[in-house]
Amino acid sequence: MTESGSSTRSETPVEPLQTQDRRWTSFRGIAGWLTILSGFLALVNGASAMLNEPWFHSLDLLTGLTSYGICEIIFLVAGVVAIAGGIAAILGKSLSLALAGAGLGILAGGIPGFFMGLAALVLLFMSDGDL
């Protein structure tokens, strides 16, 4: 207390406590989860294609891989990027990574991944600057 009897604390308004974390329920949070799911489907597509094909069909003598083997690798990489994009969307870190993840989820996630990635893109564009 000072000599005048008033407190030395500044009179700044106190922010009310939020009862819930908004990043899980906002448009970008839902888009992030949809992107993670489509990325997981892309990983499943790539892994199942890799595990179902016999190794002697996927190896070529000149390049080491056939076009089928290259597609397997593309699916796996697209799945990893889509999962990273979903995490970036949930955390609000990078809009470009979130958009790339949703786009790759559309391309590599199969039919369910297509619709999840498309919904994620729409929700990311509707998220009015959350990222």
Query: Any idea where the domains of the chain sit in the sequence?
Result: 30-126
Q: Where are the alpha helices (DSSP H) in 62-109?
A: 67-91, 95-108
Contact between 82 and 104 under an 8 Å Cβ cutoff? The reply is: yes
Pairwise CA distance, residues 75 & 68, whole Å? 11
pLDDT digits (tens, 9 = 90+) for 58-99: 555 555 666 677 788 889 999 999 999 999 988 888 889 999
pLDDT digits (tens, 9 = 90+) for 48-58: 877 776 654 55
